[in-house]
Amino acid sequence: MDLTSLDTESLLTLTRRLLAVNRKSLPRLEALDTGKHIYQGNPCKYGHSGKRYTNSQKCVSCHKHTTVEWRKKHVESRNRSST
């Protein structure tokens, strides 16, 4: 892309977009730098607080929820089969 052919308004729009993308991933980069396992990111689609694992970027609350659900199912089915 030839940036010199763009007018000021287009350049501003482009800059804002780039900044928005950077801002999105900045907390995770900071967490990576400081060696934190969890960082404060954007709230997930289920409306959780936005705490995410640095490695996977996955929502901590969702992860806990799925783990609990899995364990429930697993324990239930094991109990059922033992009786």
Point out which residues bind Zn ion (CB under 5 A).
44, 46, 48, 59, 61-62
Token pair of 39, please? 């960082």
The dihedrals phi and psi of 9, each to the nearest 5 degrees, come to: -60, -45
Per the CB < 8 A criterion, the answer to whether 41 and 54 are in contact is no
Closest approach of Zn ion to the CB of residue 66, in Å: 10
Neighbours of 31 (CB within 10 A): 19
Nearer Cβ to Zn ion (22/57): 57
Closest approach of Zn ion to the CB of residue 3, in Å: 39
3-state secondary structure (DSSP) of residue 11: helix
Closest approach of Zn ion to the CB of residue 27, in Å: 16
Nearer Cβ to Zn ion (6/68): 68
Nearer Cβ to Zn ion (69/76): 69
